[in-house]
Structure 1
Amino acid sequence: MEGLTTTTKLNNGVEMPRLGMGVWKSDNTTAKHSVIEALKHGYRMIDVAKQYGNEAGTGEGIKEGLAALKMNRKDLFVTTKVFNGDQGYDTTLHAFEGQLKRLQLTYVDLLLIHWPVDGKYIDTWKAMEKLYHDGKVRAIGVSNFNNERMDDLLAHATVTPAVNQMEFNPICQDQDIVEHDNHLGIQVEAWSPLGGGESLSDPEINKLAEKYGKSAAQVILRWDWQRGIVTIPKSSHEKRIVENSDIFDFELSDEDVETINKLDKDKRSLTYDMFQWHNPKGAPDDVDKWDDSPADYKA
């Protein structure tokens, strides 16, 4: 039976839940409570990143949520990411120890390169391979890698990425990347799966929502599910956290899946050129600093 405990087997044999919760754009306090609520309502995968500035709050939420439910660490799948400013071999290894400390964990289930920083992502990957072989991560992967960078990474890698987390939603589908990763046995995972207001207000999606008696968000998340995309919708509200997981009592027809497929506009919310590491005129890529962040966050 489909549900929040349904998993997909990654290319190294690790079982990864197909639907989880992300904590992007949440301060530490909000992240903590969101994680606790998510675990209470059956979620078994949490996605965080150093760049979000809330690993500490997420770690507190994991600790308290597992204790409240009398669950073991092995019952939860935790993903974090190598911050762009930490990329490189030695810096990745050093920074990861700080990430484990903030998360209050001895290992993570999946570690991703957050963005492919040019000139550094190969060395970063070598460090991640060491962490993988040392047992500090159960799987390693990438995020925001196009086909060119993926092929470059594979030419230098001894471990094939298990996951490529990318922006994927009705208006940003990047079918060429999905097909390439599928061919390589790399699981595609969606960030920003709901595509913001433009997708949620799309007339076609809202017609389908009315047809199936579901919300626009639920229709989109069900579409992701039927496309075989691992999905991590973000919410800080208990009602929405529950709603996002209520997608297992209906199924979109093949025709309706294709209707959403045709909404693709190749419209991204973030691109390489927006960051200074790729474009000197781009925006700074600093770790978000929230008012409730630990003073020693960057340690």
Structure 2
Amino acid sequence: MNRVLITGANGMLGRAVTAVFSRHVDVVSLGRKELDICDEEEVRAVFEDEHPDVVINCAAYTDVDGAEKNFEEAYRVNALGPGNIARAAKLNNAKFVHISTDYVFDGSGSKPYREDCRRAPINAYGKTKAIGEEIIEEEGGEFLIVRTSWLFGPYGKNFVKTILGLSQRMKELRVVDDQRGSPTYTHHLADGIFRLCSCRANGIFHFSNTGHCTWFEFAEEIISLAGKNTKLIPVSTKEFPREAQRPSYSVLDTTKYQSTTGHRPPHWKDGLRDYLQLIKLGKEL
């Protein structure tokens, strides 16, 4: 791994991946303005110009509710775009690293999902991400798919920032308490991706911070660590309707990651503390 191309580099995860990989290897970071992954000719041209040996795709359509009304756009970005990169990577003998999601599962389980569990998405966003995974597998090149969950971090919209913002102007907040997952700090995920690449791991892997919670429990920790007095009220999913259905349980099993890298991901509360410290220091954007 000498030269790494990062797509979607201006997003929340793309910036974290760029920061981590830049410490170790030569990095070319391209945002949407520099590279539209949905344009196959653009993708091929970038490979010919930059000659990466690894490409990490952080570009994605991540508006879960928006995907219900804009399925075609979500499909272009989450399925067709990764297909374009997979073909170009294979043609140029480069490894393709793609970031996917816990939402490829239906959430009906009660044990952490392993990599070999059946894909069964229940919303449009999850369907487009699942199709993207299938297209990458079908292309047949060297690939690494890393599924993750409940991302938060600097440089973008996320649950932590939303809760902190609402707590500034509301005395009470209603938060869903019957959806369970593992919040994951972008910089910890970026480090996990680097460790997998360094091990030359291939196939599908799960990475999330350890531990799990509901959105309500996540909000409780945010409010507590931030020293806020906002009252939190637990509610059911039915009481808080959204355009897209969410999995009720989407905890990921990271055993394969840990056995491959010899590294145990930090707890989500540690990631939250790190992020809140950035905010405290005024480094959140």
The structure carrying a bigger strand percent of its residues is 2
TM-score, with structure 2 as normaliser: 0.33
